[in-house]
Amino acid sequence: MSRVHDLMAWPVRLLVLAAVRAWTGARPLWAGEPPGGRPCVYFANHTSHGDAVLVWATLPAHQRRRLCPVVDAEPGGATALRRFLARCLFAWPRPAGDSGAATLQGHSLLVFPEGCRNTGEQALLPFAAPLYQRRQAHPEMDFVPVWIANMRRVMPPGEWLPLPLACTVSYGVPLVRVDGEDEATFLARAAAAVLALRPEEET
Amino acid sequence: MILDALPLQDPTWQLFAGTLAVLLVASIVGGLLKWRVAQGRPHAVIDNLNSRVNAWWVMVALLGVAFTFGKPGALVLFAFTSWAALREYITLTHTRRADHLALALLFYLVLPLQYFLIWIEWYGLYSIFIPVHAFLVLPILACLRGDTRRFLERTAKVQWGLMICVYCVSHVPALLTLEIPGYEGRQLLLVAYLIIVVQGSDVLQYVWGKLLGRHKIAPELSPSKTVEGFVGGVASATLLGAALHGVTPFTPLQSAAVALTLCLMGFLGGLVMSAIKRDRGVKDWGTLIEGHGGMLDRLDSVVFAAPMFFHIVRFWWTP
């Protein structure tokens, strides 16, 4: 990150945080204890471009600083504005070697295991294999299920004007370790943990 | 004497000082209850009472700051109130992607424009802008996207939200535009009167209900409202309104009649808003105000009383 970015990052972070709070209320709901200083892997449903920023805004400050979203569109392919924002807000660029190196550097990962944004009527799309591989590689990390509510309505795909609607981010308790679990069982369990966090009003 | 330096003769200051005194008493009572009855341990009712009182301090402070800026202060405060209320309402309402543009227009154009029209005191337009122009344009925008699923329901819900959160709430600052002979420059006191009577009625209903409440008045709508709370609260708030006649253009009897109307509208408005909440399966509109719930939980009675009050005063007290 260049010096200019360093100088800009702080006011941009404050501005984005204030805007997200003013527009969405950005309220976290913790099923268990909020995470301490340890890096973890958050896995969430994905319906809007704003999802990563909303999770970022609802995390406690020490987790926010180390958050590193793993999104489908790499910053190289994104617009200049989104690349700039990603550099200001997140622990970006992501260290090479993905979660392995990230763990070493104390980053927390935010993954969207559905693989792409869910624009249909289904609540949650099937989870893709990379989540299982991450879990295999780092069984010691906490894998925290996350449900992002309402963000789809704030900024639906294809719209550019965000609506002010209250959003909550529900964080579940980390998945328990099950030794020798196969891929399909693990992914189904992870998806069920995310779906279980869905608030009643949404159904 | 230091007391001579204070503007004690100014009714605005008297109202404000009276409100602060009531809050102080409420805080002391809340503290005593926490100390003696709950003995410092968590206690659902007492803790909720104390967070309600604390929230009242914040709300009164905000009103006080807004009032020192006069009309622009009141307009900005109530515009933000509408914004927060509308956000809660639309959050709990079923809308579809095709409604996005109409909803954006609601927040970014209709709401500011309604308050701007009140700012320039254009009664002929601000009294029909939402129920005529906005109501016609919003469904047009929604239907142009071609999504007809639950269309009538979506349209009706958005219109009703606009009505209660923007149109009705905007009638509080609209009181400032009324030209009452012999009452020039004092219209802020009408706003204070409305808020004190209606919110006072809510608070007194709560107090009477907690002290004497036995019989539920509308169990399927609002489990906490009781006959004793309703009668005691409305009666005492009516007396409060009569006692406050000095800050209004009303005689004591007129003031009591107006206050009674406001209390009844406020109570019934609270029931309507509860019915909407039950329909959506939620207990509170939001979480904005600790102890109270959301903005709409605090505002539900004002929403229904404000336009009524505005038109009562406009019809009988302006030439």
Interface residues on B facing A, Cβ-Cβ cutoff 8 A? 83, 87-88, 90-92, 95, 97, 100, 103-104, 107-108, 280-282, 286-288
Q: Quick one: how far is CA B120 from the chain centroid?
A: 23
Q: What confidence score (pLDDT) does residue A5 get?
A: 67
Q: What confidence score (pLDDT) does residue B79 get?
A: 96
Nearest CA in chain A to B89: A165
Average pLDDT for residues A140-167, to the nearest whole number? 88
Whether the Cβ atoms of residue A198 and residue A59 lie closer than 8 Å to each other: no
| Of A163 and B12, the one with more pLDDT | A163
Q: Which of A163, A169, A202 is the best substitution to test chain B (most B C-beta atoms within 10 A)?
A: A163
Whether A48 and chain B come into contact, CB under 8 Å, resolves to no
Nearest CA in chain A to B277: A201
Cβ within 8 Å of B, A 119-178: 150, 153, 156, 159, 161, 163-166
pTM exceeds cut of 0.80: yes
Q: How far is A106 from chain B (nearest CA, A)?
A: 34
Residue A101: pLDDT over 60: no
Low-confidence ranges of chain B (pLDDT < 50): none
Q: Quick one: how far is CA A42 from the chain centroid?
A: 6
Are B100 and A161 a contacting pair at CB < 8 A?
A: yes
Q: Pick the range with the lowest mean pLDDT from A5-9, A92-96, B93-97.
A: A92-96
Chain A contact set for B103 (CB, 8 A): 163
Are B95 and A153 a contacting pair at CB < 8 A?
A: yes
Q: Which residue in the block uniquely carries the two structure tokens 């709401």?
A: B111
Whether the Cβ atoms of residue B62 and residue B82 lie closer than 8 Å to each other: no
Are A159 and B100 a contacting pair at CB < 8 A?
A: yes
Q: What confidence score (pLDDT) does residue A128 get?
A: 85
Helix (H) or strand (E) holding A111: strand A108-111
Answer whether the bond into residue B11 is a cis peptide, omega within 30°. Answer: no
Are A201 and B280 a contacting pair at CB < 8 A?
A: yes
Beta strands of A117-172 (E only): which ranges? 142-149, 168-171
Give the tens place of pLDDT for each residue, A188-199.
999 999 999 988
Whether the Cβ atoms of residue B154 and residue B96 lie closer than 8 Å to each other: yes
ipTM of the complex: 0.80
> Cβ contacts of residue B49 below 8 Å, gap of 6+?
B30, B33, B291
Are B281 and A200 a contacting pair at CB < 8 A?
A: yes
Chain B contact set for A166 (CB, 8 A): 87-88, 91, 286
**Of residues A177, A106, A191, the one with CA closest to residue A136:** A177
Whether the Cβ atoms of residue B163 and residue B131 lie closer than 8 Å to each other: yes
Helix (H) or strand (E) holding A43: strand A40-44
Whether the Cβ atoms of residue A55 and residue A42 lie closer than 8 Å to each other: yes
Q: What confidence score (pLDDT) does residue A73 get?
A: 47
Q: Quick one: how far is CA B302 from the chain centroid?
A: 3
Q: Which of B81, B87, B141 is the best substitution to test chain A (most A C-beta atoms within 10 A)?
A: B87
Q: Pick the range with the lowest mean pLDDT from A75-84, A89-98, A168-177, B70-79.
A: A89-98
Q: How far is B85 from chain A (nearest CA, A)?
A: 10
Helices (H), B181-294: 187-212, 227-243, 252-280
Question: Of the candidates B100, B280, B281, which has its C-beta nearest A163's C-beta?
Answer: B100
